[in-house]
Amino acid sequence: MTLIVQKLKSLGRRFLDKQSRILIKNSSWVFLENLIRTVLNFTRAIIIARILGAELYGTFAMIVALCMTTQEFFNFNLGTTVVKFGAEFKADKRIDHLTIIVKGAAYLTLITAFISIIVVTFLTIFFYDTFIKKPGLSIFVIGYAIAWSTYYFDYISSSVLRLFFRFKLNSIIRIIMSVIEFIFIITALIIFKRNLTAFFFAVIFARLLNSLIINIVAYFEFKDDLKPETKFKFSELKHKWKLIRNFTINNSLSRTVFNVINQGDVLLVGILTGAVQAGYYAIAKKLAYSILRLSNPLTNAIFPQLSQLIAENKTKEIKMMIVKFVRIFSIPSIISLGVVFMFRKEIINLIFGQEYLPASDIFFVLMIVSVVMALSFWNLPLIQSIGKVGLRLITYILALIIGIVASLFLYSPFGATGIAYAVLISFLFINITFSTINFRFLNIGESDK
């Protein structure tokens, strides 16, 4: 075993530069977490799709998309704010200020979560038929909105765990949460089959239980460090409110627009083409985007590393790391796309069954999107590290407009596949724009040395 580890380290030193090795080391626990969660989520999606069938699965996907897309507008992503400013307070040993920002984030999240539930309830009461074609599921739309709103709090707890470098604990909790969710949902499906009532009860209960677990663990983990029971005045941070407010708004708007692009496509497919096509699109997306579970740890781990390298003016090292990663992963990515193109129908038939064969072309197009995003995992963190958050927001808004316009032109001749093409156009625009800005910055940095 020791010999194998030494051989792997030797190969790492041979093919990867120092910064690439640091990145892989920092993201190791998140890699393990994402790998396990990917297997569980993917297996769960297969079982759900096969048992429910295309129409019921499409209806479920539409309800999820409606809640997630709508509630994203009220998600301020305050966990990022906690990490950004909490790191400064932690370094200055101002635990009182850190406690204030965590409590402030929790209070604000309580308000925004409540508002998001009210908005989904309003849409369900007055526009249900516009989004959901199957009657009698209103109560489950509202129930799922309540359950999904707890994610706002989960993100804050998870961010505090990462802020204190509890990556291992954070990953273990999230793995346990995925296992619990898998067991509840699959058990309900096996026992009650195509009974949507039992299925939604299991989904909602599992989500609420998962949220309870991570927030209780985070509370007891940090109750002595943060002293949440101690009363601190929010006015103590009034000199920071402008910075906190501006960062939160810019970051929140950018992420919200991106998530609307990334999550609203299923909703758009359902509205324009119906629940069955939404079902095809949802399973194709689930299958194609599985690869992103493995690249997300790199995105999370590279951000602080890039920020430090830029502060040290080491643009040459950044460029070398990016080029090496792209070169290493581009060849297997191209090969995988070729394999998917040739066997896309066989893959869909083998995994989901013959009923979902119409999803094969959608799967291939979204696989291209997935590969583009995976190869460009460094783009967004570098944009954030060089401070181009305003440009990030503008790029996302333009990409959203381009995607909607393209969808309206392409859905009529190509159906759900046309909307997949529109998503591909949007993500190509985002990553080409970000790459151009990033490499211009890196090249200028090199020439200044």
Q: Residue 172: give the domain boundaries.
A: 14-447
DSSP character for 388? Answer: -
In a domain, residue 3? The reply is no
Question: Would 1 be classed as within a structural domain?
Answer: no
Distance of CA 189 to the CA centre of its chain: 26
Sign of CA dihedral 394, 398, 400, 401: positive
All residues at 6 or more sequence positions from 15 whose CB lies less than 8 Å from its CB, including other chains: 324, 328
Could you read off the pLDDT tens digit of each residue along the chain, which spans 449 residues?
A: 444 434 445 544 555 555 556 556 656 667 777 788 888 888 998 899 999 998 899 999 999 989 998 998 898 888 878 877 787 787 778 888 888 888 889 999 999 999 999 999 999 999 888 888 888 899 999 999 999 999 899 989 988 887 777 777 878 888 888 899 999 999 999 999 888 889 999 999 999 999 999 999 988 888 777 766 666 677 777 778 888 888 788 778 888 888 888 888 888 898 888 889 999 999 999 899 887 776 666 666 676 667 667 767 888 888 888 888 888 888 888 999 999 999 999 999 999 999 999 999 999 999 999 999 988 888 888 887 777 777 888 999 999 999 999 999 998 899 899 999 999 999 999 999 999 998 888 887 555 55
Identify the burial level of 322 via C-beta atoms within 10 angstroms of its C-beta, where 0-12 means exposed, 13-18 middle and 19 or more buried. buried
Contact (CB, 8 A) for 347 and 46: no
Token duo for residue 191 = 């026992």
Q: What is the pLDDT of residue 14?
A: 54
User: How far is the C-alpha of 292 from the C-alpha of 313, rounded, in Å?
Assistant: 30
35 lies in a domain?
yes
DSSP state of 167: H
In a domain, 9, yes or no: no
Residue 347, both tokens: 């893959």
CA distances from 32 to 210, 294, 392 (A): 19, 9, 30
Q: What does the angle CA 344 – CA 346 – CA 352 come to, to the nearest 5 degrees?
A: 95
For the full predicted model, state whether its pTM sits above 0.85.
no
DSSP letter (8 states) at residue 88: H
How far, in Å, CA of 73 to CA of 354, rounded?
Answer: 37
Tally helices (H) and strands (E) across the chain. 17, 0
Angle formed by the axes of helices 2-15 and 18-26, to 10°? 130
- Total of domains in the chain: 1
Residue 230 located in a structural domain? yes
* Measured CA distances, 115 to 108, 146, 155 (Å): 11, 11, 18
Place of tokens 């301020």: 76
Residue 139 is which amino acid?
A: I
SS3 content of the chain, % helix, strand, coil (to 5): 90, 0, 10
Show the beta-strand stretches assigned E in 137-241: none
Report the alpha-carbon distance of residue 290 to residue 348 in Å, rounded. Answer: 14
Cα–Cα dist 7/344, whole Å: 36
- Residue 175: inside a domain: yes
Establish if 229 belongs to a structural domain: yes
- Pairwise CA distance, residues 295 & 299, whole Å: 7
Radius of gyration of the chain (CA): 22
Does residue 6 fall inside a structural domain?
no
Q: Are 424 and 373 in contact (CB under 8 A)?
A: no
- List of residues 6+ apart from 298 with CB closer than 8 A: 23, 27, 325, 377, 378
Tell me the one-letter amino acid at 80: T
